[in-house]
Structure 1
Amino acid sequence: MSLNSNWTVEQRYRRIEDISQESIDAMVELRKQDSGYPSYHVAPKFGLLNDPNGLCFFNGEHHLFYQWTPVGPVHGMKYWYHLSTKDFVHFEDHGIGLHPDQDYDSHGVYSGGALVENGNALLFFTGNKRDENWQRVPTQCFAKMSADGKIEKHGVVIENDHYTEHFRDPKVWKQGDDYLMVVGAQTPQNTGSMVLYCSRDLMNWHHKGPIQTRYNNLGYMWECPDFFEIENQSVMLFSPQGVSSESPYDFKNIYSVAYILGDRLNLDTAELENHQDIAQPDYGFDFYAPQTYLDDKGRRILIAWIGLPEIDTPSNAHEWAGMLSLPRELQIQDGYLVQSVLPELKALQGEAVTVENVLELDTTSFMVELETDTDEFELTLANAAGDNILFSSTETEFMLDRSKMSQLYAEEFGSVRKARRLSTKQTIEVYVDKSVIEIFINGGKHTMTSRFFIDDLNALSITDGVKTVYHAMSPVKGLDD
């Protein structure tokens, strides 16, 4: 179900200047008719949103960029779209932040991260260029955003001398006097890797090679790498491709997300020392390309793409695709990366309503908190015809079943996802926004993030014995006003 199957290369790689205002208006009008378009998640006004980019806290605000293809709900000519917010309730829409307007990014401004320094936000990105034979020529590049919001490109800082054409998504941080960069890459042996570079001046980078772990032969490409420290532990976070598992839980999506916790990164050997087994943060259908950053409170915040490469969703019929996850604070507990929704989102919550068995919904943007110490329960979101999505649990595992949705898709990858249940007593948060659900299980040690499509969703039901509190969620401001 490739997003590109019905589009020619020429159509996909048109620039926004080549799209008529009439076409844009028609796409926006179709999108506005979609009852599945979210109210408190970031989504594109039209076209395709994918990876979060350049996340940073800068000049008193959280800055969010995302990959955007304006020509339609398809992967093609990529731009960085720019939003900012002080509270994740009120947003400012800055429009396109980075255009593919140089020779080195002539076929798209691909993903990357940000580093705040000396009154600027430095935006690192992959320049995607195609030569006359349509061979990709990727380079790592950077731009500066000043406090007044002006963005100026400063060109290529790393050319591709060691890897296949799959060499992208730079993430930069500073450690002492050293600037460090990781890049997602495919080795000449066609294995995925998180490649390390070092610099003293941000312009001249020394290649240290792939970070060494026990997983040097995991999959054929590692996308969207991130490396950071929490509580004196090092975290490698990445999106490996070409990985599967015989476990009923792990690596069930076309592409999944993984992390590895270790003691420290040895810069001499490029080894992640004393690291744990690889783990998954999310067990839903649609969680990819997460990126993290530090804010002014010292919080490590994660935002992911709710979507996956190469999979269409029913939203495409309304000329849009993809959204960003809610912002999640990360902590480490018991060897797990623990996620929790930022408390700023509580400002969107309406009054608490206790649910007894069944609740008729007057909005499809809400959250529910479940408190349970029973072995089994079921939470069902349904319409009058019985179409539903089912979140349930046994003593040992959670299950999310979307096999009875009104609009089925991506069935070749299965309609059920499972995750281990780590304890009987649980407080579970479930965030629903029209056509997306984010579930925080096992105290945030795992999440289940998914799109779902139920026509005229109107009822929530819950098993007896589960204390359930419902809050309507208000829309965020500034995104589609």
Structure 2
Amino acid sequence: MKSETEREKIEQAYREIEKYRDKVEKDYYRLQYHLMPPVGLMNDPNGLIHWNGVYHVFYQWMPFHTGHGAKFWGHYTSCDLIHWKQEKIALAPSEWYDKDGCYSGSAIDHDGVLTLFYTGNVKDEHGNRQTYQCMAVSKNGIDFEKKGVVVTLPDGYTAHFRDPKVWKKGDKWYMIVGAQSESLDGKAVLFRSQNLRDWEHLGPITGGNSRQLGKFGYMWECPDLFELDGQEVLIVCPQGLEAEAMRYQNVHQSGYFVGRLDYETAQFLHGPFAELDRGFEFYAPQTMLDAKGRRILIAWMGVPDQDEDKHPTIAHRWVHALTLPRELKLKDGKLYQTPVEELQMLRKDKIAYSNVTIANEEMILEGISGDVIELNLENICLSGGIMEIAIRNTARIIYHSDERMLTLERKSFANGLTEKRQCRLERLHSLHMFLDTSSMEVFVNKGEEVFTARFFPYKHNQTISFAANGHLVFDIQKWSL
């Protein structure tokens, strides 16, 4: 049963949804096929799980304004990853151990019970923080009952200790938590349990100021450890990395290590850190394993502290969204991300051209335009020079074949100036793009690289043009979505 305080908080949130429903829904920049908050601010996806044939996506949510604060857990469900239903609010900040926020966490199936683990955030009148790892349960996947604290802060860490991800290995449960050590280094910390209530602290499996990494961020958020294609992958969001040429250009980063966890010694032996997404808005990714055996990733289409107060949607009382679901594959030690195949169900009104040839000119292809579309360029062959795709006069994708460099440019929604994100790319042979009024996700070379970004074009400019300084040939398909 929910406490009286939790019921009151949830009722307040529903009143906020009704109060601003018309204002939110009238915003042109509202997305058409991505998950968004009904009002207020959305950030980290939480509790991703495929349970009893249903995909569950919970998310961090501040219903009362478009800034951060005492977060709730919102909740969406789907049977096909395409059609989503907004469910009852799952968690609200109400108890002594989570009164200042039900922070990020994960979900498992425990003997048929959908079980959530999350971080309870508590602050005193001076702003001093305490954190607790907490549990909540549901028999129907919709109504959740809090069970209280299962892990308190162990010695050696600051109160920046959060985002538990739980899984089972053999007959034991494991929990990994993002942490900051007392020496202000980011860590990924492992726990073990037989019963989900009593947890043994095994220590950090890897982290900053280690022999493997050296100084590598002052805090690690949103860890996620899973097996994929015969190896183990640790996804994590290190804060405090210095920019290095084209790497680490956002305020905070999201990436992964590939290696092997020794469950006896609690040590993760791994290779170098690699960024998951090269774009402007991508953070707090989490994965789930579905009944088809796919490892599916969804992330927050945003970054903490990155011009959040400048988003045009704030005028309509909402901000941020989640990425499309992406299937992960591991090839030669590198994660590839591809949009889940179910997204093809959205397609309509196909237009296709083969052997489009552009030589030292700019071209507009009839019917290749729009604001809610999917574009797929294949068999790209650029014989020297530069290829450019201009999208709605607000973003450009540029490939420089001599420099082997791919660039995404956009007009900043903060100040209107041009900004860019880049990566090295030996050869460009395909671009698969999803445009959705104010977002773009670009899958390069069948998921070898991905660029995710928000952008805010003028409503009536839906033009897409192609240009080449050199000789360019490609096939293209376009669908309305």
With normalisation by structure 1, the TM-score equals 0.89
Instruction: Provide the C-alpha distance between the structure 2 equivalents of 1:19 and 1:92, rounded to a whole number of angstroms.
Output: 17
Q: 2:110 maps to which residue? A: 117
1:139 Cα deviation after fit? 0.4
Amino acid at match of 1:168: R
Structure with greater strand share of residues: 2
SS at match of 1:105: coil
CA-to-partner distance for each residue in 1:12-62, whole Å, 9 max, x for gaps?
xx95655794x6445322222221110000011210000000000101100
Shift of 1:116: 1.4
Question: Contact conserved, 1:350 with 1:472, CA < 8 A, in 2?
Answer: yes
Match of 1:440 among 438, 443, 448: 443
Q: Which residue, 314, 317, 321 being the options, matches 1:316? A: 314
The aligned residue for residue 281 of structure 1 is: 276
Specify which of 257, 268, 273 is matched with residue 264 of structure 2. Answer: 268
Partner Cα distance (2:272, 2:414) in 1: 34
* 1:38-77 matches, cutoff 5 A: 38-77=31-70
Match of 1:466 in 2: 474
Shift of 1:119: 0.6
Letter paired with 2:371: T
Q: Deviations over 1:197-244 (max 9, x none)?
A: 111111111111111361252110011111111012111101110002
User: Helix, strand or coil for the counterpart of 2:127?
Assistant: coil
Q: Which segments of 5 or more consecutive residues in structure 2 lack a partner in the other structure?
A: 1-7, 357-362
Q: Does 1:367 align with 2:371?
A: no
Do 2:150 and 2:198's aligned partners in 1 also have CA atoms closer than 8 Å?
yes
In 2, the alpha carbon distance for the partners of 1:115 and 1:331 equals: 22
Structure 1 unaligned residues grouped into runs of 5+? 1-13, 474-481
**Which residues in structure 2 correspond to 1:179-190 (within 5 Å)?**
179-190=173-184
Name the SS of the counterpart of 1:27 in structure 2.
Answer: helix
Q: 3-state DSSP class of the match of 1:346?
A: helix
SS in 2 for 1:112: strand
Q: Is the 8 A contact 1:229 1:235 kept in 2?
A: yes
Within the alignment, does 1:451 sit opposite 2:454 as a pair?
yes
CA positional deviation for 1:434 = 0.5
Deviates more, 1:320-329 or 1:358-367: 358-367
**Of the candidates 191, 216, 219, which is equivalent to residue 218 of structure 1?**
216
Residue 132 of structure 1: how far off its partner (Å): 3.4
Provide the residue aligned with 1:30 in structure 2. Answer: 23
Instruction: Tell me how far apart the structure 2 counterparts of residues 135 and 301 of structure 1 sit (CA, whole Å).
Output: 36
**Which residue in the other structure is 1:352 paired with?**
350
Contact 1:100 1:108 in 2 (8 A): yes
Aligned counterpart, 1:8: none
Identity of aligned residues (%): 37
The residue identity in structure 2 corresponding to 1:182 is I
Counterpart of 1:427 in structure 2 is 430
Q: Does 1:170 align with 2:202?
A: no
Letter in 2 for 1:177: D
Q: CA deviation at 1:410?
A: 9.0
**Larger deviation, residues 436-445 vs 142-151:** 142-151
Structure 1 residues 117 and 25 mapped into 2: Cα distance closer, same or farther (>3 Å)?
closer
Match of residue 138, structure 1, among 98, 112, 131 = 131
Q: Secondary structure at the match of 1:166?
A: strand
Structure 1 pair 94/151, CA: closer, same or farther in 2 (3 Å)? same
Q: Does 1:161 align with 2:177?
A: no
Q: Is the 8 A contact 2:77 2:86 kept in 1?
A: yes
Q: Is the 8 A contact 1:173 1:180 kept in 2?
A: yes
Task: Tell me how far 1:268 sits from its aligned partner.
Answer: 2.6
Contact 2:154 2:201 (8 Å CA) reproduced: no
TM-score when scaled to structure 2?
0.89
| Aligned counterparts, 1:72-151, within 5 A | 72-147=65-140, 149-151=142-144
Larger RCO, structure (CA 8 Å, separation 6 or more)? 1
Q: Distance in 2 between matches of 1:46 and 1:18?
A: 12
CA RMSD between the two structures: 2.0
Higher mean displacement: 348-357 or 318-327: 348-357
Number of the residue aligned with 1:294: 289
Are 1:126 and 1:170, in contact at CA under 8 Å, matched by a contact in 2?
yes
Q: Which of 246, 253, 259 is matched with 2:244 structurally?
A: 246
In structure 1, the residue matched to 2:200 is: 206
The equivalent residue for 1:11 is none
Q: Secondary structure at the match of 2:464?
A: strand
Q: Which amino acid aligns with 1:369?
A: N
